[in-house]
Structure 1
């Protein structure tokens, strides 16, 4: 192993420790009592670990919050993948006036902060009577510009000859999409599904604006409300944060390859 390779490995190890440390601090804090959690100097490893923080955490409707998070995340994931796969395929393989302009608008929308559209979006949701409902949290996210961009870039690599051959054989447009194009898009759809799920799970800002009642809260939002008016139960908050991170860690470990594919797909040129 060369000197540069050894140095690279050392730097990667150091950065890995730096990135992992906040998660370790959350997990260790989840097993500390309040006075130990805020003690200075800190107690790096709990001397007397306790489950009291998790007991206090689950006195709240945590399972309802967890269900809401999964329902919203899966709803967004299915909707985004369906819309993005159709829109991306059309933008990549169909010729029609204004196609480049429409795609440029999607790319520009990717750079638009969510806060910019918050007021008109909230007004529309309120006019529809959807405030504090699942529809308010799922439907506005279905037309995710990043998803359309990702699928479009991948769809450009599909063989046009195969699509033309299917048309010559008399395949209808709908069957062509579901029987030929959709299976070929599976790698891109898999990566997009993971990105969408994580984005929906962590979308604290939209959940905070669109929900009103405790039963409609998601897990990240519900955990944030555990902060007291005069005191902050750091151990309970850390227990909630550790519990909320479990699905994200599981998904990342199961689909690491799809994450890598999703990152590189956007660089594919048609």
Structure 2
């Protein structure tokens, strides 16, 4: 009887998850399908989920009427730089907080952690004034990158992950007269690759999808990222929904490829740093 109840429960859970997955996939499916139709069909209140005809004209209009290649390059450059800096700096800080004993270790860590409780909207105006008015960095890559060189959330993630690594290896390396940076580079980084991979993926995805800050600090079309560029993709007389959906598909495609290529690391990200051993 218990076995039958478990089977029924698993079946119900599977059915609910399938329905939820279907609901989640429909907007993505409609975006992709709409990018191969004319604007009237894309904006129709009676959509056809299997189009009568297919066309790449929306993609041609998107790339011909916008600075799309530059937007994609900007997103790739900003996301790539911030991924590298966050992985390097957050792993260094995580190692220091997890494995090194220095005065104020816990105090500094809790002060950093407390800043995560402050809503980003509170610091947005001071940060904007600092970047634009004081440093005069408006409409530059530096303005987009500088505030996110390393985030407290990533430091916390790496600290938790580093805490689960065996301390005995570090002690053995110190006995062999290995420097702290040598320990970090030769011992910690190789065994921390799963955590670093998760951190890199999550950082890249977050920065690729970042919208508000690049919108604030960029003015010219050549400095916009793909997300900001799509928001500025407008027409004076009408809205070209087909071209907009083509642009949205182009902007989402790298993330879709990244997810399926590195799916196992996304799943690891659910539990990384959650268990301290």
The answer to whether TM tops 0.5 is yes
User: d(CA) in 2 for partners of 1:108 and 1:27?
Assistant: 42
Shift of 1:50: 1.9
Moved more, 185-194 or 130-139: 130-139
Q: 2:176 aligns with which of 145, 148, 169?
A: 169
Q: Residue in 2 aligned with 1:249?
A: 256
Name which of structure 1's ranges 109-118 and 55-64 shifts more when overlaid on structure 2.
109-118
Unaligned runs of 5+ in 1: none
> Shift of residue 41 of structure 1?
2.1
Paired with 1:106 and 1:194, the residues of 2 have a C-alpha distance of 23
Secondary structure at 1:40 match in 2 = coil
Q: Secondary structure at the match of 1:67?
A: helix
Tell me the CA shift for residue 251 of structure 1: 0.8
Q: What is the rounded CA distance, in whole Å, between the counterparts of 1:234 and 1:164 in structure 2? A: 61
Secondary structure of the corresponding residue to residue 215 of structure 1: helix
2:244 to 237, 240, 257: 237
TM-score (norm 2): 0.93
Q: Secondary structure at the match of 1:31?
A: coil
Q: How does 1:91-240 map to 2 (within 5 A)?
A: 91-126=97-132, 127-240=134-247
Equivalent residue for 1:12?
Answer: 17
Q: How does 1:52-91 map to 2 (within 5 A)?
A: 52-59=57-64, 60-91=66-97
Q: Normalising by structure 1, what TM-score? A: 0.95
Q: CA deviation at 1:18?
A: 0.7
Deviations 1:86-132 (A, max 9, x none): 00000101122322222223333334332221111111112222211
Tell whether the 8 Å contact from 2:164 to 2:273 is kept in structure 1 after alignment.
no
How many residues align structurally?
Answer: 270
Secondary structure at the counterpart of residue 270 of structure 2: helix
- Tell me how far apart the structure 2 counterparts of residues 115 and 233 of structure 1 sit (CA, whole Å): 33
Offset, 1:70: 0.4
Contact 2:98–2:160, Cα closer than 8 Å, also in 1: yes
CA–CA separation in structure 1 for the residues paired with 2:155 and 2:208: 20
Superposed displacement of residue 150, structure 1: 0.8
Unaligned runs of 5+ residues in structure 2 are none
- Please provide the CA RMSD for this pair: 1.5
Asked whether the equivalents of residues 163 and 176 of structure 1 are also in contact (C-alpha less than 8 Å), the reply is yes
| Aligned counterparts of 1:7 and 1:57: Cα–Cα separation in 2 | 44
Is the 8 Å Cα contact of residues 224 and 237 (structure 1) preserved in structure 2?
no
Task: Establish whether residue 30 from structure 1 lines up as the match of residue 39 from structure 2.
Answer: no
